[in-house]
């Protein structure tokens, strides 16, 4: 980060809404768990084990992809880019400040209500 970051309450509120929407959005995971459960039920109806194992592998990969993917959500409300630089570690949803435009995404003040503590 270059020196000081810019404090804008609109950007912080937009980022907070984005994080809240992401944390509530468990629909893809639910669909993947449902697909995985359906493949285990298919054990009783499919006589061909190769087809069954392909379904199990596909459902497990779908579940893994939905659990690991946080990238579509994590765009800075100010510059519309990922708040992390290319080789930074961690998930962009956990960023406190955007590395590109230097805007705070989480309030640096503990008494601010829009911070995610």
Poorest-pLDDT segment among 13-27, 43-57, 83-97 = 43-57
Predicted confidence (pLDDT) per residue in 12-33, tens digit: 999 999 888 877 766 666 777 7
Return mean pLDDT, the chain.
Answer: 78
Listed in sequence order, the residues at least 6 apart from 26 whose beta carbon sits closer than 8 Å to its beta carbon are none
Contact 32, 66 (CB under 8 A): yes
Query: Per-residue confidence at 103, pLDDT binned at 50, 70, 90?
Result: very high
Tokens representing 69?
């993917």
Check residue 79 and give its pLDDT: 93
Query: Per-residue confidence at 111, pLDDT binned at 50, 70, 90?
Result: low
| Residue 69 clears pLDDT 90, i.e. is over it | no
- How far is C-alpha 71 from the geometric centre of its chain's CA atoms? 6
Mean pLDDT calculated for residue range 61-78: 74
Contact 83, 105 (CB under 8 A): yes
Contact 78, 8 (CB under 8 A): yes
Check residue 117 and give its pLDDT: 47
Poorest-pLDDT segment among 9-18, 27-36, 64-73 = 64-73
């Amino acid at each position: 980060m270059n020196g000081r970051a810019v404090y804008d309450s609109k950007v912080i509120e937009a980022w907070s809404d984005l994080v809240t929407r992401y944390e509530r959005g468990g629909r893809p995971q639910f669909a993947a768990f449902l697909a995985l459960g359906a493949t285990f039920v298919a054990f009783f109806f499919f006589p061909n084990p190769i087809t069954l194992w392909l379904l199990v592998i596909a459902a497990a990969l779908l579940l893994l992809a939905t659990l690991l993917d946080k990238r579509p959500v994590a765009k800075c409300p100010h510059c519309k880019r990922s708040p992390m630089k290319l080789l930074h570690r961690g998930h962009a949803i956990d960023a406190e400040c955007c590395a590109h435009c230097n805007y705070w995404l989480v309030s640096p003040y503990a008494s601010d209500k829009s911070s995610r503590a």
